[in-house]
Structure 1
Amino acid sequence: MHISFPSCAPEYCGPDLALTFPARVDEQPVQCAITAEALEDHFGARSPREEDLIDAFTAHRSEIELAAQRMLNELGGKPVLLHSGYFRFCT
């Protein structure tokens, strides 16, 4: 399975308090997301405000994409949502 991440900016999803970002698995688009809680707990986001979440994501993008890649491999290329618990127990 070949996984890559386009370099576009993440998108804020207010109702879910998460950021979404695209991946490509074997050239097919797959949506990934990380919760505001994970960004606050593990990547230094100061609040669940869009600007703070994007700043934390940008500063730690490579770590977040690596976690998403691991999860995509585990789930066979299906969409992933990275929660705080994933980083607490799996990294």
Structure 2
Amino acid sequence: MQIQFPDEAPQYRGPDLVLTFPALVDGRRINCSITAEALEDHFGAQSSREDDVLRAFECHRHKIHHAACRLLYEVGMKPVILHSGYFRFCEG
């Protein structure tokens, strides 16, 4: 499975409190998301406000993409959402 992340800015979905970002899995576009809670708990976002979570994402993009890769390998060509608990499990 070939996974790449296009160099695109993540999109903030305020009602859901997530940032979404694309992955290309074997050339197919798959939506990935990370919760504001995960960005606050594990990547230093000061709040769930858009500017805070975007800053945290940009500072830790590589680690977030790596986690998304691991999850994509587990679930295949399906959208993934990275919750705070996923990072607790992976770090523990």
Q: Which TM-score applies when normalising by structure 2?
A: 0.97
2:43 paired residue number: 43
Moved over 2 A (4+): none
User: In the aligned structure 2, how far is the partner of 1:48 from the partner of 1:69?
Assistant: 24
Q: Encode CA deviations 1:16-63: one digit per residue, 9 max, x unaligned.
A: 100000000000000000000000000000000000000000000000
The alignment covers a number of residue pairs equal to 91
Aligned AA (2:67) = A
User: In the aligned structure 2, how far is the partner of 1:67 from the partner of 1:8?
Assistant: 17
1:90 Cα deviation from its structure 2 partner: 1.5
2:14 paired residue number: 14
Q: Which runs of 5+ in 2 are unaligned?
A: none
1:10 Cα deviation from its structure 2 partner: 0.3
1:78 Cα deviation from its structure 2 partner: 0.9
1:77 Cα deviation from its structure 2 partner: 2.1
SS state at 1:8 partner: coil
User: In the aligned structure 2, how far is the partner of 1:21 from the partner of 1:81?
Assistant: 10
Percent identity reads: 64
**RMSD over aligned Cα atoms:** 0.5
